[in-house]
Amino acid sequence: MMIEINRVCVIGAGQMGTGIAQACATAGFAVRLNDREEKRIETAFANIDRSLAKLVSKGKLGETAGSDARKRIVPAHSFADLAECDLVIEAATENEATKREIFSALCPSLRPEALVATNTSSISITRLAAATDRPERFIDVHFMNPVPVMQLVELIRGIATGEETYEAARTFVAKLGKTSTMSEDFPAFIVNRILLPMINEAVYTLYEGVGSVESIDNAMKLGANHPMGPLELADFIGLDTCLSIMQVLHEGLADSKYRPCPLLVKYVEAGWLGRKASRGFYDYRGGMPIPTR
């Protein structure tokens, strides 16, 4: 029997988790937002307030609708606060060990019929599901960034995911006003299987001195009509996330064409992770982004 989703919990109050919480609340769902760091929850609420206010000021959301959406989101200070949730969406860092640890600790607090989802952009759903007590009720609901704006959600089933779980997830995505597409459980799925090798190749182009940061991004924006250059996009995604996805592709498919560029590795080692760290392929510490190479 398909569970009706009314109450949603999001684990992880970073950029993706914040966006998912906002999208769910705007669509009328009651939302709880959890993170192991209380300060991140406070920051998330401040970001949601700004985002909703911006949508209201642009006329994309009514003032009452914006106020009501904000009231639907409340903090969850521990997994014990999630006992009544119908759907829990994990949006923690793109690290398999971290995610498995979360699922192992989370499941004892949930009702048996509750659905568990991940927002992973590359990791095996079958493996993650095995860390839960309900692999048949586990699925990847992979949102695109920024969540409130992007229309696509990838749905990926593990080997044990039940048809009722898939249908419930598909209905949920439709209620968010978004479009879902189904991908098989292969490394990086559809979007990142295509997108990240392109970004990695752009980093190789920079690494080999073929072009500068600015020339590479301008070439793809003006020559391929991309709204954002690949290096600018990498900064937006987070260079650590880009590297994690390339590592999953390289290890999972055992093909040298997916080898992460050494320059991408160096930037991550330096802590230059993109916009969230104020430096990546661009330096964001001033008024205007300045290329770092």
- Give the CATH number, domain containing residue 216: 1.10.1040.10
Looking at residue 2, what is its pLDDT? 65
In a domain, residue 2? The reply is: no
Residue 33 CA to chain centroid, in angstroms? 15
Q: What are phi and psi of 181, to 5 degrees?
A: -130, 145
Whether 1 maps to a domain, the answer reads no
Establish if 147 belongs to a structural domain.
Answer: yes
Same domain, 271 and 204: yes
Q: Is 119 a catalytic residue?
A: no
**Residue 269 known to be catalytic:** no
Say if 202 falls within a structural domain: yes
Q: Is 43 contained in some domain?
A: yes
Q: Are residues 217 and 149 in the same domain?
A: no
Give residue for tokens 């992880």.
Answer: 12
Residues 36 and 61 in one domain: yes
Residue tagged active-site, from 51, 119, 142, 200: 142
Residues 276 and 196 in one domain: yes
Residues 174 and 31 both lie in one domain: yes
Instruction: Encode pLDDT of 29-38 as tens digits.
Output: 999 999 999 8
- Using the 3D structure, point to which of 183, 214, 247 is the last residue of a domain: 183
CA distance linking residue 166 with residue 170, whole number of Å: 6
Structural domain harbouring 245? 192-291
What angle, rounded to 10 degrees, do the helices at 63-71 and 15-26 form? 120
The residue among 183, 209, 231 that closes a domain is 183
Quick check: is 212 catalytic?
Answer: no
Question: Would you say residue 246 lies in a domain?
Answer: yes
At residue 158, the pLDDT reads: 96
Beta bridge partners of 290: 283
Q: Identify whether residues 165 and 129 lie together within a single domain.
A: yes
Residues 179-211 have pLDDT tens digits of 999 999 999 999 999 999 999 999 999 999 999
The reply to whether 175 and 196 lie within a common domain is no
- On whether residue 249 sits in a domain, the answer given is yes
pLDDT score, position 287: 83
Residue with tokens 């993650």: 128
Q: Does residue 70 fall inside a structural domain?
A: yes
Instruction: Please identify which of the residues 34, 90, 122, 154 carries the catalytic annotation.
Output: 154
Q: What is the pLDDT of residue 3?
A: 78
| Ranges of the chain whose pLDDT falls below 50 | none
Residue 157's CATH number: 3.40.50.720
List 34, 121, 122, 124, catalytic entry: 121
Which pLDDT score is estimated for 118? Answer: 97
Residue from 34, 180, 192, 200 carrying the catalytic annotation: 192
What pLDDT sits at residue 1? 60
Is residue 124 part of the annotated active site? The answer reads: no
Pair (80, 144) in one structural domain: yes
Q: Check residue 53 and give its pLDDT.
A: 93
Total structural domains within the chain = 2
Judge if 98 and 132 occupy the same domain: yes
The domain boundary, picked from 162, 183, 204, lies at: 183
Which region, left, alpha or beta, applies to residue 162 given φ > 0 means left and ψ of -120 to 50 means alpha?
A: beta
Residues pairing with 87 in the sheet: 8, 115
